[in-house]
Structure 1
Amino acid sequence: MEHSFFDELKSFMESGIYPLLGSTVVFLDPVRLLNESYSRFTISPSAYYSRRFDSNPNGDLVREGEAENLSESKKRKRKRKPKLSDLNEREREAEKRHQDARPLLLRAHRALLEASDLLGMLSKIIDNGSSSHCRRRADEVNFVELGKLWQAPLFEMSLCSRAPNNVDEGVEFDHCVERTVIPLFNNLISNEANDDAEAKFQSSRYILPSRSCFQMSDLRQVRDLIPELAHTEGALVALWMTNREKLRIFVEKELFPAWGVTDAAIFYWMKVKPDGSLICDLDSFHHRPYECLLLGYVNVNVDSECLATHKCLRSIQVIVSVPGAHSRKPPLGKLLLEHIPGPKPAKCIELFAREMVAGWTSWGNEPLHFQDSTYFLEKEGNIAPPGGINSLGNN
């Protein structure tokens, strides 16, 4: 048994994935998963895990700067769970969904708490000796607002290419071998190298993972995009959901049918603190400690193709992790890869993206948000392999 724990921990340190109940529940370290996209840089654990949590038994979340007002705010803002008879129809349906999922979520959390070997490592994994690297700049670029300006088509960014044999540590952006200036908005920008690339916009510096591309633009016609983007030999669609019942009904009854999504499945993302406790009470009516991911297939006959081309969407039901910055979702590409139908390697795109991943296309109005260099640490003594960054033209 000890040997099994050692093997699982070793595998976790390499992959960022720790199985808790076979393949039904897994714990993720997003930092390790994201670091697979980079060669010269690493995600700073303290910058990723920048949220602060209190230690009270109810598991309420405390953000930076709020600790001194915690006791008073709890007295004023804590809401009592309403009686079932006081709920409207949608609220009752949402509560029923919660009660249906509750036994699975409790089993998943119990499995985490029983993994004492993993829990013993979490605080060290999250701190990782880099606690001084968690402050953000006050002048952080707001790409959403910039994209609304009439000047948006005129904004340009500088892209840096390094020499393949450059081994100098901490090379500054101004000492790049080659710099390319290209339009930032409504332009598909690709890093085709097997190395991280660097970009500069205004006073901020950004890190682009290898073999990735992004497009900074609005997605106003997203309802019509999925059928156009889906591969004719099959595609997997995954959509993050809040716990609002109105939105859930819209996706299940209108959006997925309009996209032609079939065989829908649901995964749960359970959010925990570094000590393994939930970020809030499981039955908190106004703030659940989990989110839902709805998944399904387009252009796939599951009955005849599922076992032949990909693994069916039944093996993972609960994903557990310590959350990062507000609304930052854990990277699930590695987990979902075996579920993707069609030719390999799979072509993957994230819509409304706020960060980039190697091998993926990131599309949205702020795909560079979490690529800011303040989220990264630079490795020492790495050699930049050959390659370059391309602008693939305006769409």
Structure 2
Amino acid sequence: MSQIVYQSDFGWVLRPHLYTLGDAWHWPASAFDVLAPYTARTKQHVSKALPVEQGDAGVDAPNVRKRKRSKQVKSDHVNKQNGINELHSSICHWLSEAHASLVLHSGTFPLPTTAAVADTSSGASIDDLDFIKFRELADIADSSKHALESEETDQACGIVPVDDVSRELDISSLYHQFISNDSDECKTLPVLGHSFIVPPHSVFLMSDLSQAQLLRSLNPFDFILMDPPWPNKSVRRAGKYQEIDIYDLFRLPLKHLIKPGGCLAVWVTNKPKYQRFVRDKLFSACGLAYVAEWYWLKVTLKGEWVVDLDSLHRKPYEVLIIGRAQHASNSHPDPVASLPTRRAICSVPSKHHSRKPLLDDAIAPFLPRDAQKLEIFARNLLPGWTSWGNEVLRFNDVQYLTQTTEGYLAPPPTELG
């Protein structure tokens, strides 16, 4: 079933719970029930960088030096904020028009609510399920597994059918090898008391940037989606994910992984610095031309922005920057050539931190039939996709999923014997 419930020249309205992994498995509507805009934080955050006024005529030398450094920090912050505001001003009018088209004029909103779900519009995290902490397991795997070849050396890496994965699983054997489900039905993968749904025709590699060269053993893809863990102070304080240095992205063999005419789509924060990095440096290093920017409009079930569009502290949208490799030949149809340069994806965000919209239904008309698709830094598996990341199974834990079709329970997925 398609997630698209409305579309216009501006883009699409998506309902992510309509996306099925196969065998009626899907993420429940209750995971996307944001009933009201996120409330403002009641605490006033006072920057540690601001100088403390002593009120004394005499100030010792260390405090003087601290005050000078603080002024520089404050100046840098103002400059960064001005850059964000300038970028926002350049797209604000279009975003307002897109919101009006997809929300106010569509007749789609308000969306139905899920009766059993409490209002979590404050934005508080509900990531309290007893899921496996894959970041910690990645470290265990690195220490327990035999030393691999140098990452500068091309490595052959076989693909293991999910049926061949033993129930008595040494957790380290999940790492640094491709595991696939080539069947037409879901499989369950039991790991340490948890069950994970592996969708049909999917492949995954659970690994991190230290083993990024394992990706070289894959054939190139028509479409690559990437959501890097960009440096972010608030996320760093909360410890929600492990950040990377932005230049670590050059360790990924992206140029090798993209077919001629293929696309790389990168989710980027609203910081101009990171957007310029993607367009001017990352795409250039991969031989890609910048072709499009799509925007995710985050709204409540009533269609309201989750925060005010002109908020200085937080924006209710994120940007997807798309680059394209040069086509080897113009002798056959090229659906990617019609990729719109600007579109909006309007949806209610997940309650779980940093989950992005599922793009299959929106991107499909602009890709070749039976396109090969790869997600980098993935935190879930999708049918027909290859997924890579150190938390790649996370949201395929059955605790995050539901299995229903037309109001009744579907048969369970195939279990591994």
Q: Does residue 194 in structure 1 map to residue 177 in structure 2? A: no
Aligned match for 2:18, one of 8, 32, 36: 32
Q: Pick closer, same or farther for the CA change 1:112–1:381 going to 2, 3 Å.
A: closer
Aligned to 1:317: 343
What is the deviation of 1:118? Answer: 1.2
Aligned match for 2:389, one of 364, 373, 377: 364
Aligned 8 A contact 1:306 1:312 in 2: no
Identity of aligned residues (%): 28
What is the deviation of 1:249? Answer: 1.8
Q: Pick closer, same or farther for the CA change 1:284–1:347 going to 2, 3 Å.
A: same
Q: Pick closer, same or farther for the CA change 1:306–1:77 going to 2, 3 Å.
A: farther
- Output the CA distance in 2 between the equivalents of 1:319 and 1:119: 15
- Output the CA distance in 2 between the equivalents of 1:381 and 1:276: 31
Q: Does residue 144 in structure 1 map to residue 112 in structure 2? A: no
- Partner AA of 1:140 in structure 2: F
Aligned to 1:175: none
Aligned 8 A contact 1:146 1:152 in 2: no
3-state DSSP of counterpart to 1:318: strand
Aligned 8 A contact 2:10 2:101 in 1: no
Q: Pick closer, same or farther for the CA change 1:320–1:301 going to 2, 3 Å.
A: farther
- Output the CA distance in 1 between the equivalents of 2:179 and 2:309: 42
Aligned 8 A contact 1:211 1:360 in 2: yes
- Output the CA distance in 2 between the equivalents of 1:94 and 1:385: 47
Q: Does residue 123 in structure 1 map to residue 148 in structure 2? A: no
Aligned 8 A contact 1:269 1:290 in 2: yes
- Output the CA distance in 2 between the equivalents of 1:385 and 1:92: 52
Aligned match for 1:225, one of 244, 253, 265: 253
Q: Pick closer, same or farther for the CA change 1:315–1:258 going to 2, 3 Å.
A: closer
What is the deviation of 1:335? Answer: 1.4
Deviations 1:241-269 (A, max 9, x none): 00112211211221110111114210111
Aligned to 1:105: 95
3-state DSSP of counterpart to 2:109: helix
Q: Does residue 355 in structure 1 map to residue 380 in structure 2? A: yes
- Partner AA of 2:2 in structure 1: S
Aligned to 1:76: 44
Q: Does residue 292 in structure 1 map to residue 292 in structure 2? A: no
What is the deviation of 1:352? Answer: 0.2
What is the deviation of 1:44? Answer: 1.8
Deviations 1:138-168 (A, max 9, x none): 53211012102245539xxxx986xxxxxxx
Aligned 8 A contact 2:186 2:199 in 1: yes
Q: Pick closer, same or farther for the CA change 1:41–1:260 going to 2, 3 Å.
A: same
Matched residues, number: 324
- Output the CA distance in 1 between the equivalents of 2:109 and 2:315: 22
TM-score, normalising length: structure 1 = 0.72
- Output the CA distance in 2 between the equivalents of 1:288 and 1:92: 14
Q: Pick closer, same or farther for the CA change 1:208–1:180 going to 2, 3 Å.
A: farther
- Partner AA of 1:143 in structure 2: F
Deviations 1:220-248 (A, max 9, x none): 454241101112x3211100000112211
Deviations 1:89-113 (A, max 9, x none): 4433322221111111111222234
What is the deviation of 1:181? Answer: 4.5
What is the deviation of 1:30? Answer: 1.3
Q: Pick closer, same or farther for the CA change 1:237–1:142 going to 2, 3 Å.
A: same
- Output the CA distance in 2 between the equivalents of 1:160 and 1:239: 29
Aligned to 1:238: 265
- Output the CA distance in 2 between the equivalents of 1:277 and 1:40: 30
What is the deviation of 1:189? Answer: 0.6
Flag as ranges the 4+ runs of structure 1 deviating above 4 A. 85-90, 134-138, 178-182, 304-307, 380-389
Q: Pick closer, same or farther for the CA change 1:306–1:93 going to 2, 3 Å.
A: farther
Q: Does residue 17 in structure 1 map to residue 4 in structure 2? A: yes
What is the deviation of 1:40? Answer: 4.2
More deviation, 85-94/141-150:
85-94
Aligned match for 1:327, one of 354, 359, 363: 354
Q: Does residue 273 in structure 1 map to residue 300 in structure 2? A: yes
Q: Pick closer, same or farther for the CA change 1:294–1:329 going to 2, 3 Å.
A: same
Q: Note the residue ranges of structure 1 that are not aligned, 5 or more in a row.
A: 1-13, 63-69, 80-84, 162-177, 390-395
- Partner AA of 2:400 in structure 1: Y
